[in-house]
Amino acid sequence: MSHYQKPPELYDGLRLHQNENTGGCSPKVIEALARLRADQIGFYPPYADATAAVARYLGAAPESVTLTNGLDEGIMALSVAYLRPSVAGPVFEAVVPEPAFEIFRFDTAVAGGHLVQVLPTPDFAFPLDDVLAAIRGRTRVVFLTNPNNPTGVAIPLDAIRTIAGQMPANGVVFVDEAYAEFAGQSFIPQLASFPNVVVGRTFSKAFGLAGLRIGCLVGAPDTVDAIRRAIPVYSVSIAAVTAVRAALEDRDHLDGYLRQVAESKTLLYGACERLGLKYWKSSANFVLVCAGDRTEALVKGAFARGVYIRDRSTEPGCAGCIRIGTGVVEHTKRCIAVMEEVLCAAP
């Protein structure tokens, strides 16, 4: 497959297949959107207040934060800025430890870069030595996700420092922190010492704003400047900048959701143990579960019962694996009941 295939548009069941916040955004976001005036919608959106609010939340300087239309836009812009070959110049390389967020693969191809995949270890521990061995003179980007999608496994910050120290000049380490709120660790406090690292964040996951599309890139202004040039002017809407400010003001909503995610993961681990399914402890809001030869039956059986979970079998190192979102506890309990029903009914 040479381009990203969006999952089918399923909105009439329980969506545990795209790592979204199934409880939705803070009610304060809805109130703020309802207060938007016609003139605000008539004008191009101001970014300064939202950028300042995001920077405060992340503990970063406003000049190091660039808002994007979802983190997806940031990843595409970074790929274009760093991997696009110049006329008759060399093809630049992107190193991706697998299994990884598949967008890295597709955006590398769109930008004209060459993908260098690092194969996973059996337990998904971070393959630092193999990543270092893959870095060469033409490496322009190392794509990391911390904690990783689809495994949920965290990368030690020390490993990121080591990789940054081995990058060739003009190369960047991209640390995708889409799930950082659930892990409670970030590379952002270290960015001042690592100008060749760019961190990506999203408000789609912990803050439940996926439908509004807002994320950001954080990094040294000189490093991020090249990426900014590849981002369309005003790609973030007035709805998104309004929503993110309101979401950041409702800390209770965020904390409540983080508590539910932690409880949901514990419940799902317990269910996997009862059902004899291998799983990996996750630092994110989903769990990768190995159902082996029961994968297809489980995904299809859950689908028939209105619960959507994601077959990740074709991802490197993930044969027989399913990724299951663990958000609102009530939703997790429903998913577990369906898993038990399907697996216990199977021959």
Ligand X SMILES: Cc1ncc(COP(=O)(O)O)c(C=O)c1O
Least Å distance, CB 70 to ligand X, is 3
**Piece in contact with ligand X (CB under 6 A), picked from 66-74, 123-131, 253-261, 295-303:** 66-74
Binder among 210, 243, 299, 302 for ligand X (CB under 6 A): 210
Q: How far is CA 205 from CA 11, 65, 90, 133, 199, in A?
A: 17, 19, 37, 33, 16
70/301 with CB nearer ligand X = 70
176/311 with CB nearer ligand X = 176
Task: Report helix, strand or coil for 56.
Answer: helix
Least Å distance, CB 74 to ligand X, is 8
Q: Is 204 in the site for ligand X (CB under 6 A)?
A: yes
In 10 A of CB 234, how many CB atoms? 12
Which tokens hold the place of 240?
């998104």
**Piece in contact with ligand X (CB under 6 A), picked from 28-36, 67-75, 188-196, 327-335:** 67-75
Which tokens hold the place of 78?
């970074």
Residue identified by tokens 């439940």 is: 208
Which tokens hold the place of 85?
């070959």
Least Å distance, CB 145 to ligand X, is 4
Q: Is 21 in the site for ligand X (CB under 6 A)?
A: no
Q: How far is CA 334 from CA 87, 307, 312, 330, 331, in A?
A: 55, 8, 21, 6, 5
Q: How does DSSP classify residue 276?
A: T
| Cβ neighbours for 212, distance < 8 A, ≥ 6 positions apart | 203, 237, 239, 240, 243
Confirm if 176 and 200 have CB atoms less than 8 A apart: yes
Binder among 16, 32, 58, 70 for ligand X (CB under 6 A): 70
Q: Is 202 in the site for ligand X (CB under 6 A)?
A: yes
Q: How does DSSP classify residue 103?
A: H
Q: Write phi, then psi, for 17 (nearest 5 degrees).
A: -110, -5
323/331 with CB nearer ligand X = 323
145/264 with CB nearer ligand X = 145
**Piece in contact with ligand X (CB under 6 A), picked from 70-78, 110-118, 225-233, 257-265:** 70-78
**CA–CA distance, 311 with 232 (Å, rounded to integer):** 34
What track of x and - describes contact with ligand X for positions 114 through 153 (by CB under 6 A)?
A: -------------------------------x---x----
**Piece in contact with ligand X (CB under 6 A), picked from 135-143, 202-210, 251-259, 290-298:** 202-210
202/283 with CB nearer ligand X = 202
**Residue number, nearest CB to ligand X:** 70
**Piece in contact with ligand X (CB under 6 A), picked from 68-76, 113-121, 129-137, 167-175:** 68-76
- Residue 150: asked if its preceding bond is cis (omega within 30°), the reply is yes
Report the sign of the C-alpha dihedral through residues 160, 164, 167, 173, in that order: positive
What track of x and - describes contact with ligand X for positions 149 through 188 (by CB under 6 A)?
A: x--------------------------x-x----------
Confirm if 46 and 234 have CB atoms less than 8 A apart: no
93/102 with CB nearer ligand X = 102
Q: Is 71 in the site for ligand X (CB under 6 A)?
A: yes
**CA–CA distance, 256 with 178 (Å, rounded to integer):** 18
Question: Closest Cα to residue 322, out of 335, 334, 309?
Answer: 309
| Binding residues for ligand X (CB under 6 A) | 19, 70-72, 101, 145, 149, 176, 178, 202, 204, 210, 215
